Each structure stands twice: as structure tokens, then as C-alpha cells.
A and B are shown apart, each in its own frame.
Chain A
Amino acid sequence: MATTIFQRPESMSDTVTHYCPGCTHGVIHRLVAESLDELGLRERAAGVAPVGCSVLAYNYFTIDFLEAAHGRAPAFATGLKRTRPELIVFTYQGDGDLASIGTNEILHAANRGEKITVIFVNNAIYGMTGGQMAPTTLPGQVTTTSPMGRDVELAGWPIRMRELLSTLRTPAYIARGSAHSPQWIVRTKKYIKKAFEYQANDTCFSLVEVLSTCPTNWGMTPNESTKWLADNMIPYYPLGELKTPEEEDANVKRMISNP
């Protein structure tokens, strides 16, 4: 008798996505969908799509989905979660959406401890609009608005959102995973599922940053892209869980003991 060992999650729709070859959105969508299924949250879930390549994310999930204005998903999610706390509300945002136009919204949603889950897809570039520099673009990285490579004198250094948000005092779960290798896809799935568990238990704000490839705008093949991510992004954006709600505020303790 045949046993199903792998299938499309119930929370994902049976449709062909529009994403580029080698784009990791498809993988990350699946990790979110599997987590929702495994935790039995599909019927309570509401996703908030960003402006970016994943603006059409609602076509790929079988849950209630909403479209927010660029960067505003965390504020949108706050409004939705505060009016219907029984919903499992998550945002799915790219680096322009979250780290550029939306920094104020994500900072304050995290700081207020909104019980939402944020999936932050970091591919160091603006995908949908054709490859411009993002706040997460690496020094020297060539983009259409940094044609000579990102100059830190002009544009500053890339922003590490996992680290930035982890300095906040309010308890949260904040982790960075990656979708470039099977091993890290499995680990990132654990982070994402854990994030949704925290929301299901009404514990805290949760955010999982996922390093991703963008072969089209990086000007590489999918295989070259995963290698580039491993060699260049991971050293600057270290992987792992940085903040969990259980531990005491390590940053504040450190600051107090070493003024």
C-alpha cells in the first residue's frame, strides 16, 4: 500500500506561482503553509501580503489573505489582531517593505509586542521593481541604483533587522534562517513553526528573517545564487535564534553591568 510521505500542504493552493526560477519564495510559502497545517491553524489564519514580488501571495494560500500598503503590513496586522484576537495573523514581507518604507511600523509593532508573526524575506535587493538597492544590499553589491556597487560612504551599511529588533526590551521571538540549502530550509521551518506556536499560545511577537536568493536581479544562475548567499550574506547576517521570550533581556543586563 502506498504511503504519502510528501504532499502539497492544505494551506497552499494548487496553482503555478509566478516566481522566477531559483526564487525561494515558493519554498518559504511552503514552510509557512506546512507550519499552519501541522499546528491546525489554517482555519484561523489570516495572511497580510506586502508590496513586492510576493504581493500575489494570496493566490498561493488557501487561507484568508489581505493586501497591505507598502511597508504597512505590521500596522495592518495590528489592527486586525486587536479587533479579532482569535485570528492567527501573519505578515509576509520583503526587505523594501520591512526594512525601508516600513521600519517604523515593524519597530513599533515589535515594541508593543503585538501577537503577530512576521516572515521577513531578505534577498538583499528589490525584486519586483527590477533590482534596485535595498537597505539590506551588501557593500559593493551592484544593483540598478548602485551601479558601481553599494558605497557605504553614500548609502551607509546594510541593516540587520534581526539584531535591531532584538535590542527592544519587549519579549519576542526573533530568528534568522535561510532558504539556500536543504539543511537550512529544515532548520528555518523549525523557526517558523516555533514562531506560529508562540502566537497560538498568545505569548509574544515573533519574526523570522529568511535569507533568500534572487537569481534574476543578482544576475546569476540559481546555483550560483545559493553559493553567493552562503559566501556573502551569511557572514554579514548570521543565522540562528537571537531572541526568545523565555530568556531575560540579555542586552539590557549587559548594558547595565558594562556602562
Chain B
Amino acid sequence: MGFVMNQEEFSKTIENLSKNYRLYAPVIKKGEGRCLDEDIVRYDFVTKAEEIELELKSDYSFKEILLPLSETLFFFTENETKVADKNTSDVLVFLRSCDLHGLRRLDDMYLRNGKEKDFFYSRIREHVQFVLIGCPHSYKDCFCVDMGANKIDEGYVFTIEPKGDGFASEIKDDDFTKYFVGQSEHVKVSYVTENETKVNVPNNVPLSIYKSDFWREYDARCIACGRCTIVCPTCTCFTMQDTFYDPNGKVGERRRVNASCMIDGYTNVAGGGEYRKPHGQRMRFKVLHKIKDYKARFGYNMCVGCGRCDMVCPEYISFSTLINKLDDQIKKEAE
């Protein structure tokens, strides 16, 4: 079951949806890249079909809706603590298969790691549903197939992808049929079956690799900017941040902000303790989390192969290349 829509019908469908949902989708942000006239694609709320970017791969992931880069948790007055309000009206997030696989990682960390569900994550998560953007072709740097994130059969209400001059949607949840304007047709969502970039994720990572000189190369190459983790749909770390506004220190707030194990200060403990100062060691910590440590805890690999970290690295460090080099190194050491 599905719909085929021309541009006008798609616009009408989005208009219908936005009456009941806040739509969160990839959007081209003109000139917001780091260099002049460089556009980026990142997520934002939209109300019109034209705003939704369905062709380009987004530079930043959807995770900001669930884990805002900076989120106020509490407001403090002299003697009172107030939980910050949140718009919890229903949201539809437009994302690709890799990102929807990423969602499982976010849920596992915030809903299932430790005894308690994360309050601030849960209160928005409960109001979010997903629209799968079909991938008729792979993009440069994608390696979703080898990470098993190229295809997904559940967790979304309908799909959307450009088709010819128009758009096609496969309906998963019949409750959404009523929003659609277009030709009713049998539609199957497209997905990628082969990427140009291939990775061999090592099955067994020996402890010796932690101490290996393998990582030394990145001491110099990596500048510890953390862009790879900020764009990653599976990185979830945050840091608590307290602040007061007035000079008397009477009114203030507690926030949490995205944190990165690549950026200075991540491991600092009060009194000056710090772990993993060399950037290569941070690289090791991040990389082995993605393809080993996370799996040891949750039973499946963390990395979904979206390749955004490769796209964003200002020093041209390729995660996928690193994995393959690591695999070679492990095989070499085993000989």
C-alpha cells in the first residue's frame, strides 16, 4: 500500500501532516558551513514540502531532536528548582535507514542502560514517530551495508522518496493514509544493497590492540575537534553544566550539553585528573566503542555506517579506512 505524488500533491500531504505534527527533517542551511558559501544539511522543523531535503545526505543527524546540543533541565531561583518545560507535541522525524538504526542505540543508552529511564529523553521520545527516507542509491562515504544498517522493516509510519518528477510513499501505519493526497499505488521503499566503501569489522579485537602503536599515527593527525562525534547518530554523551545569570548568583539553570570523548576536558575530574591525553588514544577509545565495546555490552555494533564522520573530518581521517587498517593490523598481529 502506498502513494505516488506529484510535487503539488506532496506539498498538500506535508501540509496535512503539519496540522497534527511538528515535522523535523533535513534542511539545506544556506551558507552555514564553515567556509564561505558552503551550505550544510542539518535537521530543523519544517512546515512546507519544499523545505525538506530528500536528495542530499544530511551532514548532521536527526539525534538533535532527542538529544538537543544544549538543553536546559532545571531553572533555579533562590530556593526553588523547576524542571524546564518542553514542547512535547507529536513529532514526525524524516530519516534514512542508517539513522533509524541509530535510534536503537540512543534508546538502549537512554532507556535501558542503568536502572532508570532518562526523564528528559523519554518525555520527548514518547512523542516522536519516524518517516523513513528511501535511499535509491548510496552516497559517497556510506558503508551501511557492511554495518547492516542499509535496510529496516519497522519503526516508521511511512516512507518517502523522490521518484521521477514526484514522490513515492509506502504506508506502514494505516492511520497515516488519511493525510495523503495522490495516486494510490503499491510502493516499496528503496534501499541500498551495495556501497562503494566497504569495511571489514574485526570480529575479535585482542586486548593487545589497545596498547598498539597503531594509534600513534592519530596523535598527530587528529586535532581533537570532535566533529566526528557531533555528527554521529550513535554518539550520546553529555556533560552537565550549571550556571547563574545575575551577579548575586540567585537565579540560574542546569543544562546538559553534547559531550565528545575526542574533545579536551571529557575525562577531567575535579582536582586535575585526566585520561587519554594523546589524541590517538581518544581515537582508540571512540573507534573501539563503535565496533567492539558497545557490542560487548549490547550485543550489536554501535556504528551504523552513515559515514558522516568521514565527510566532516577537517583532517581527512576516514573512519572506514581506519577500521580496515585496524582489521589488517589485527590479522597481522595474529600471524
Say whether A and B bind each other. Answer: no
Taking Cβ atoms with an 8 Å cutoff, the residues of A that contact B are none
